[in-house]
Amino acid sequence: MSVISERVTTPHRERVVKNPIPWYTPRFWHGMRLSTWLSVLARNRFAVSFSRLHTASSITFFSAMNSLLAAVDQAVYSRRISQVEITEPPVFILGHWRSGTTFLHELLIRDPANTYPTTYQCFVPHHFVLTEKWMTPWTEKLLPSRRPMDNMAAGWQRPQEDEFALGSLGIPTPYLSMLFPSRGEAHPDYLDLRNLTEAEKSCWREALLNFFRRLTFRDPRRIVVKSPPHTARLQTLLEMFPDAKFVHIVRDPYKLFMSTVNLWKALNEVQRMQGIGDQQWVEEYVLGSLERMYTAFEQDRKLLRDDQLFELRYEDLVDDPMERMRELYSTLNLGDFSAIEPALQEHLAEVKNYRSNRYELPEEKKEVVRQRWGAFFERYGYDVKSEVAET
């Protein structure tokens, strides 16, 4: 039985999301250190719009505070954290944006054997060991209770993408395109890491490894992370964690396309520091990102053992989540599935009334998706005659 309902279909039209979250809600960039924030501004020639000066000023203030707190955190904990060993191979959830990675992440973290990076830990990865326990209780109300793009639960203790932690640590990431969206795509080479210099790759690896050590220092259980860009980084992740497990989820390409376009446009509106522009580049960005992502993934998946990769379709997960999770645990040897069944059933009961939006995709855009993503349709068995795209 499906656990997710759907809303009435409405004709597609271009939408611009206007301030879906309050002005006082922290943006991703409030978690940066001052050096990182100033470096990003300099790279974009300090092109902050007048209407965003107050936000940029608040980020500058808080980034200075982050630098101070990070220095204290480093002084107190760095030696102990450097000695941490990650004994449990991490589990990486892979898949394109809007393919159901968040839903899958929420299911996997019901297992008491698993831990995960929280929103706060990804927000301030450089000082959460020092500050999380006393900072989160009185700042929780600054965050919305639901994510504006899909109405999923939000909050400091909710699971978050480790890609945001890398950005706050000063590692270039495609997500920085949200800051100055009129400039288009940012750091495309950091999606698959293939064209980076060895020094750049080493810096990326060290940042992720140190973040995982900090997570393990706080909680030694098996780390479960989800970050769509990791789908294109399989080779690098295997070099770091040879015994890691990977769960790969896919979804109808038409639905991925429209939903991801709406996602980036919404995030660009909320996170931007300059005028939004026409955002015409977003559709090409979505099309190109999947192509680069799955070119890398299909090349690297042959490096995996049979017990390291489990693949599923979002539609099948929604239709029978308990059976798909049972298969996942069996394939990856993640432990006794019966031990987590009650927690999974409880969570599924809580989200059974979740509803996703649906939009018709114009035929001309369907044709573009068919032409550009034809290999994805064929590889994962999706029907090119599908009628509806969800957000």
**DSSP, residue by residue, 226-272:** E-GGGGG-HHHHHHH-TT-EEEEEE--HHHHHHHHHHHHHHHHHHH-
- pLDDT score recorded for residue 385: 77
**pLDDT above 90 for 157:** no
- pLDDT score recorded for residue 25: 85
**DSSP, residue by residue, 67-133:** HHHHHHHHHHHHHHHHT----SPPEEEE--TTSSHHHHHHHHTTSTTEE--BHHHHHSTTTHHHHHH
Question: How many CA atoms lie within 13 Å of 322's alpha carbon, on the beta-carbon side?
Answer: 15
- pLDDT score recorded for residue 180: 94
Q: What φ, ψ does residue 146 adopt, rounded to 5°?
A: -135, 145
Mean pLDDT score, 80-98:
97
- pLDDT score recorded for residue 379: 96
Instruction: State pLDDT tens for residues 97-148.
Output: 999 999 999 999 999 999 999 999 999 999 999 999 999 888 877 776 666 5
Domain 5-390 has CATH 4.10.410.60: no
Mean pLDDT of the residues in the chain: 90
Rounded to 10°, the helix 198-218/128-139 angle is 60
The H or E element spanning position 309 is: strand 309-313
- pLDDT score recorded for residue 155: 80
Which two three-digit tokens encode residue 90? 């991490």
Ordered by start, the domain boundaries in the chain are 5-390
**pLDDT above 80 for 383:** yes
Percent of the chain at pLDDT exceeding 90: 79
- pLDDT score recorded for residue 245: 98
Place of tokens 């909050």: 155
How many whole angstroms separate alpha carbon 18 and alpha carbon 11?
20
Mean pLDDT score, 323-337:
97
Whether 266 contacts 20, CB under 8 Å: yes
Which two three-digit tokens encode residue 114? 């698993």
Confidence of residue 14 (pLDDT cuts 50, 70, 90): very low
- Higher pLDDT: 192 or 15? It is 192
Whether 391 contacts 266, CB under 8 Å: no
Total-model pTM: 0.91
- Higher pLDDT: 338 or 7? It is 338
Instruction: State pLDDT tens for residues 213-249.
Output: 999 999 999 999 999 999 999 999 999 999 999 999 9
Mean pLDDT score, 18-28:
73
Name the nearest CA neighbour of 214 among 125, 112, 124, 91: 125
- pLDDT score recorded for residue 9: 38
Name the nearest CA neighbour of 212 among 240, 171, 235: 240
User: How far does CA 71 lie from the centroid of its chain?
Assistant: 27
The H or E element spanning position 6 is: strand 5-6
**DSSP, residue by residue, 265-296:** HHHHHHH-SS-----THHHHHHHHHHHHHHHH
Confidence of residue 20 (pLDDT cuts 50, 70, 90): low
